[in-house]
Chains A and B, each alone.
Chain A
Amino acid sequence: MSQPRNNFSFILIAIALIGGGWFFMRAYTGPVARPAYATVLPSPMVLPDFTLNDHNGSTFTRESLKGSWSLLFFGFTHCPDICPATMQSLAVAREKLAAQGRAAATLPRIILISVDPERDDAEVLKSYVSNFGQDIIGLTGDLSELQKLTKRLGIYFAKSPADDGGYNVDHSAAVLVINPSAEFHALFSAPQRVEKLLHDWPLILVGSPASR
């Protein structure tokens, strides 16, 4: 009569040990947290050489992206809806990340690259980006220089004639994450939301020297 009882006790003890071990491992190692919204490239992509001008009229090249994390958005100042909403989301997210006490080296620079160089000169961009904070950078330049960058990054833009003789610009809505080595590191697809960036930013930085 005692043999079945012993076997049952043994099974109970084994289950308790296995379960306890699993719980211990989960508690100490935890699940691997990954970005929920951003797509992180398996291996970062080196940006091509390009030469644009910033909103102060200074030359801005691939080298200018080195040393900081950056968020690139391709838009234009005559865009009334998505572009200002996106810039607002990025600026607010950056403010909130700063308010969390994160190291300055881990905070992204926000860069608007105009896909409408005909209308967006340095002066227009300077006035426009200043609405979203002091550290926002606006870039513009020759179409050919712009295309060097956009073609490599898979960014689409094209003029679309309007009925009144004017035009809109169709353009990619994604926000690109550039790492401090001036490499294309990750991408946020539209729509851009503050919460998405706040959630994913620390996870994108995991493993990067700049995050420590």
Chain B
Amino acid sequence: MLLVLYLAVLIAGCGESGPPLTATGVVAFAPLPGSEVSAAYLTLHNHSQEALTIQQVSSPEFAKVEIHESMTVDDVIRMRRLDSLTLDAGTSMQFVSGGKHLMLIEPVSELAPGKSVALQFEYNAGGVLIVSTQLKTRM
């Protein structure tokens, strides 16, 4: 069962009504043996009245986390890295297979399914969202 914990939310300009950026439906897959990469999917919600730009995503369990987008055009898949991502005020953005996703690159240690990993999103000036989830297996 997926366990998602919101570990910390440090926000710039946070109102009393709650954090401006939250995440739901976080799913991260353990890297397959033979592969140094994996993917994570989730939905980000911007509850604030301003646009939020995610400048960086990182994880203590991976050397690098990148925001990628897969596009299938004429039955050809192309994947590109996105430098940043902006959520307009009051909107949500889905990270799904075949679309935007987080590419988890080079695990720093052996990561088996079930192990907990954290993802840290840095946005605007000093805003941070950290979520954790247990790695799932593909099969």
Q: Say whether A81 contacts B70, CB under 8 Å.
A: yes
Secondary structure call for the A interface: mixed
Report the interface size class on chain B: 20 to 34
A82 contacts B32, C-beta separation under 8 Å: no
| Among A79, A92, A131, A190, contact of B72 (Cβ-Cβ < 8 Å) | A190
Q: Mark B71-82, 1 if CB is under 8 A from A, else 0.
A: 010011111110
Residue of A nearest to B78 (CB): A170
Q: Check B77 against A77 for contact (C-beta < 8 Å).
A: no
Check A77 against B76 for contact (C-beta < 8 Å): no
Chain A contact residues, CB within 8 Å of chain B: 77-82, 84-85, 87-88, 91-92, 124-133, 156, 160, 162-163, 168, 170-174, 189-191
Q: Are A79 and B139 touching (Cβ within 8 A)? A: no
* 29 A–B contacts from the bound complex (CB under 8 Å): A77-B35, A78-B35, A79-B37, A80-B37, A80-B38, A80-B103, A80-B104, A81-B70, A81-B98, A82-B77, A82-B79, A84-B35, A85-B97, A88-B139, A124-B34, A127-B33, A128-B33, A128-B34, A130-B34, A131-B32, A163-B81, A168-B80, A170-B76, A170-B78, A170-B79, A172-B75, A173-B75, A173-B76, A190-B98
Min CB distance, A84 to chain B, in Å?
5
- With beta carbons under 8 angstroms apart, the residue of B33, B68, B75, B76 that contacts A81 is B68
Total of A-B residue pairs, C-beta within 8 Å: 94
Judge whether A91 and B35 touch: CB under 8 Å.
Answer: no
Determine whether B123 belongs to the interface, using a CB cutoff of 8 Å to chain A.
no
CB distance from A99 to the nearest CB of B (A): 15
**A-contacting residues of B (Cβ < 8 Å)?**
29, 32-39, 68, 70, 72, 75-81, 97-98, 101, 103-104, 138-139
Q: Which residues of A contact B33 (CB under 8 A)?
A: 127-128, 130-131
User: Residues of B contacting A88 with CB < 8 Å?
Assistant: 138-139
Q: A88-B139, A131-B138 are in contact. Are A126 and B34 (CB under 8 A)?
A: yes
Which 9 A-B residue pairs are closest in the complex by CB-CB distance?
A: A127-B34, A128-B34, A80-B39, A80-B37, A170-B78, A131-B32, A173-B77, A127-B33, A85-B97
Contact A191 B98 (CB under 8 A): yes
Query: How far, in whole Å, are A125 and B32 apart by their CA atoms in the complex?
Result: 11
Is the pair A172, B76 in contact by a Cβ cutoff of 8 Å? yes
Distance A156 CA – B77 CA, assembled complex (angstroms): 10
Contact for B98 among A85, A92, A168, A171, CB less than 8 A? A85
- A90 and B32 CA atoms in complex are apart in Å by 16
Alpha-carbon gap, A92 to B38, bound state (A): 19
The answer to whether A173 and B35 touch across the interface, beta carbons within 8 angstroms, is no
Pair A156/B76 contact, Cβ less than 8 Å? yes
- Say yes or no: B75 contacts A131, CB within 8 Å: no
Could you say which residues of chain B place their CB within 8 Å of the CB of A133?
A: 139
Whether the pair A84, B76 counts as a contact (CB closer than 8 A) is: no
